[in-house]
Amino acid sequence: MGTKRQGNHRVLLVAALACGAFITAIMPARGDIYRFEDGEGIIHFTDAPTDKRFKIFMRDLRKDKQLRTRLRFSRAVNPAEYEQIIKICSDKYGVSTSLIKAVIHAESGYNPNAVSQKGASGLMQLMPGTARSLKVVNSFDPKDNVEGGVKYLRFLLDTFRGDVSLALAAYNAGLNKVARFGGIPPYAETRTYVNRVLSYMQSYQGN
């Protein structure tokens, strides 16, 4: 009796989720929608994925358009100035140029003199302690900063077996926080950061 009730509940849940997906599809999107199907055949949807099993299901077209607009910079910034540095570091550490550019874009907007309220500095916003551990002599020197940042990204990607989302979460919130929560920490700032960098990365790949 209990098994039958549980089976019926699962069918209803799947139907409800399918209905929700259909409603989402016909209504204006307010954010990217992600989905994954678990081992029992239940389909899960979310707009704030915290598990790497979630894959993009429906993209917010308005956000994509806004994103492409935001890839434009102020006249005081010249991203092309750092192309060679990024390419060299990409080849050296095996990190895609699109990911490097996306992180720089999200962290500093290509301002080599940027300093955060927490003390992170340079193009890739390295914290003083992180910079020292990476042997970055001058965080305001684009070459030193980008090499240190890309080297750190490589470490995080290796730590999380190539999972870009987790690596970015650790870049933003710290390795210990990701390890503690077993995934992307439940911080709005970190979740927004990860989604922003992934979106920037896709735009750079498209360009």
Q: Which residues are catalytic?
A: 107
**CA-CA distance, 152 to 93, in Å (whole number)?**
10
Is residue 52 helix, strand or coil?
coil
Query: By C-alpha distance, which of 168, 164, 205 is closest to 55?
Result: 164
| Torsion sign across C-alpha atoms 111, 112, 116, 120 | positive
**CA-CA distance, 48 to 37, in Å (whole number)?**
16
**CA-CA distance, 42 to 13, in Å (whole number)?**
7
**CA-CA distance, 197 to 27, in Å (whole number)?**
26
